[in-house]
Amino acid sequence: MILKKYTWVILLLSVLLLCSCSSEEPPQSAGETSEISAESDMTVLMSSETRVTDPKESPEAISARPTVTFAPAETEPAKEKKTTAERSETTAANLPSLAENQIEYTCKDFSVLMEFTGAESVRFYPQSARTHITYTTDYILHSKFTVTNSSEKCFDFYAPRMYIHGSHKNNRGVMLSAMIRDSKVMPADIIAVEPGETVNFDIDFKGDEVCIDYAYQIVCNAIKYTDHEDHSTDYDTYNDKSKGKTVEFKITDRSAVKKAVSAARNGGADNAPRPLVPMEGEYFVLTPKSSYCFTAEPICDGKYIRINLRVQCLTGEPLIFRPGCFCLYTTDGDDRSPDGWSFDKALSTSEPQIITDMEGISETVYKAPWNLAVRPDGTAEFTMYFYAGLREPNEFYKFCYDTHKVRDSRMTDEERDDFECILNMT
C-alpha cells in the first residue's frame, strides 16, 4: 500500500515536471524556426527517427515527447550563388565589348588595345624599295594602339620590338613594327607613357602576308639593358629617348589573335574604290582594274602635247606603271613616248632626274623613271609631255598604255592594265 502511494507521488511529480518544461520551452513556430535557421545556417527538421532523452524523464514522457534533427540549410547558399551571378553579369555589362578587329592585353600596371584597320601590298609604298630592307612581296598591316599606364611610374612602350607571328601549313612568317612617313616604311618609335596617362598612336607592321590571315601570336619584347661596352644601335636609341623601364607582353590566344588581325582585310570594305568621275574636257577610260581620266592639249605653240592623267585602281591591289608603255599614235601609224614627266616623287621607286632643257614649261620636269606606282588609296596623277615637232595636234588621234611595248618576261597578265582611247584634238 505504501509502495503504491510512492508510485503515485512519483508519477504526479513527473507530470508536474513535464508541464514545467513545456511552459519554459514552448514549441517554436514556423517563423521562429526560420529565424534560427538564418542565424545558424541550419534548418530544423522534425523527425521520429532520432530522439534526445533525459534520464530523469519517465518512459511515458519520453514516448510522448517529439524529437528533432538538423540538416544543412539550402536557402542561404542558393541566395549567395544568385548574388554572385548577378554581380558577374553587372561587371560584364560595364566592360566595353571589343570589335571584331580589336584585341586587348591587360595587367595590373598597364593595358594595350590594338585595332587592325587595313592591309595592303608594300608596293603601294614605292620609296620603301630604296631602303633595301623591303621585299616587293611584303605586306603592310595598319593598326591603331591605345596604351594606358595604370602604375605610379613612367614606362616606355618600345614599339620597335613589336612582332606578329603567323603560320599556315608549311608557310611561316613574321611582321615587324614600322611607321609610314611620306610613303616610306620607317622603323617604329619609342613611346613614353606617364603614370595615369593614355596615349594613342599608329603602328604599321611590315612582313609576310601569311601573318595577316593566319596570325597566332603578338609579342612586345622589352629592351634588354646592356653595359657601356655594348654600343648597339638599339641601346643608343634607347638612351636618347628613354624615360623609364620598358614593358613587355605576349598574346598567345591563337583564335583571338587570328580573328582580330585577319579582320583587317575587311577594314576598307565600306570604302571600296569607285571609278573616277570625268570633269569637263576630260577623256574617260574604264578597265577591269582601273579607271582613268585625262586631258590632251597642245602647249608651247604646239611644240608639245601635254596629257594630264588621273588614275584610280579598283581592285585593292597596286598597279606599277611602266612610263615607257604610254604613247601617242599619229594618223600615219607613228608612235611617240613621253619626253618629260611631272609627278609626285613619292610615287617613283627611284630618285628621278630633273630635265632642264624643256623650254616653255614652268613646272619641274623629270626623265622617265623605271616605275611609277599609286598611293595606298589607289590614286595617282601623272603629267606627260610628248614632243610634237612638225606635227599638227589633230594628227595625234590615239592615246595608249600598251605593256606589250616593253619586252619584260617578269610582267604577268595580272600586272597589265592596257587601254587605248581615241582623241579628238581638232
* Each residue's pLDDT tens digit, 70-114: 334 334 444 444 343 343 333 333 446 889 999 999 999 999 999
Higher pLDDT, 149 or 11: 149
Contact, 341 vs 306, CB < 8 A? no
Residue 326 has pLDDT above 70, yes or no: yes
How many whole angstroms from its chain centre is CA 324?
40
User: Which of the four pLDDT bands, split at 50, 70 and 90, describes residue 133?
Assistant: low
Higher pLDDT, 180 or 339: 339
Stretch among 31-45, 218-232, 383-397 having the lowest mean pLDDT: 31-45
DSSP letters, 234-293, are: HHHHHHHH--SEEP-EEE--HHHHHHHHHGGGGTTGGG--------TT-EEEE-SSEEEE
H/E stretch holding 177: none
Contact, 217 vs 257, CB < 8 A? yes
Residue 292 has pLDDT above 60, yes or no: yes
* Each residue's pLDDT tens digit, 353-372: 999 888 888 889 999 888 89
Residue 346 has pLDDT above 70, yes or no: yes
Q: What residues have CB less than 8 Å from 335, skipping those under 6 apart?
A: 327, 328, 329, 400
Residue-level pLDDT at 163: 95
Computed over every residue of the chain, the mean pLDDT equals: 76
User: What own/partner pairs with CB < 8 Å and gap ≥ 24 does 252-259 have?
Assistant: 252/216, 252/217, 254/216, 254/217, 256/103, 257/103, 257/215, 257/216, 257/217, 257/218, 258/213, 258/214, 258/215, 258/216, 259/100
